[in-house]
Amino acid sequence: MTILLKDASQAMVRSGTRMTAQRQLILEYLFEKLSHPSAEEIHKAIYKDYPKVVSITTIYNNLRTLKELGLVREFYLLNSGVARYDIRLGHHHHLVCGECGRIEDWLGPAPSPVQPGAPLGDHGFLPESFTMEIRGTCQSCANSGGKAQPRAV
């Protein structure tokens, strides 16, 4: 995590943006958890230890800055309307547990014929990117016969 945080800090310096205490707390949380949290979940987790340092507005403003710098990715699960944030920037997909809400990264090849830059079937459409969301039951829920512990915040 230290190396990744150092890389993020260097990217901020190169862009002329300061690494504030709030930005560092947000990045540390994202690097540590990898849980695809919402801004509200990030705020709730950080606020417990630093109530005078972070407001929900501070979280949103800093997430916007980190997104603009290319240090975090904002995405929405289908039909959720809630922005989630991902520190893993490379192309990947998400496995979403319908029982506990856990979101895990799928790093393997997509079980789909869609390839960015390759024509899509007979349509001649050239996709730049695509997102796939796989819904099902995570291993913890399957093993427990029901709802596992909700995603840690």
Location of structure tokens 């496995």: 95
Is domain 90-144 classified as CATH 3.40.630.30? no
Q: What is the pTM of this model?
A: 0.78
How many Å apart are CA 93 and CA 102, to the nearest integer? 14
CATH code assigned to 2-83:
1.10.10.10
Q: Binding site annotation covers 92?
A: no
Report which listed range, 41-55, 92-106, 117-131, is most confident.
Answer: 41-55
Q: How many helices (H) and strands (E) does the chain have?
A: 5, 5
- Domains of the chain by residue range: 2-83, 90-144
Q: Residue 33 is which amino acid? A: K
Q: Is 94 annotated as a binding residue?
A: no
User: Quick one: pLDDT at residue 92?
Assistant: 82
> Which amino acid is present at 150?
P
pLDDT digits (tens, 9 = 90+) for 10-34: 999 999 999 999 999 999 999 998 8
Asked if residue 81 lies in contact with residue 91, where contact means CB atoms within 8 angstroms, the answer is no
Give yes or no for residue 120 having a pLDDT over 80. Answer: no
What is residue 20's three-state secondary structure? Answer: coil
- CA dist 114 and 120 (Å) reads 7
pLDDT of 41-60, one tens digit each?
999 999 999 999 899 999 99
> Length of the chain, please?
153
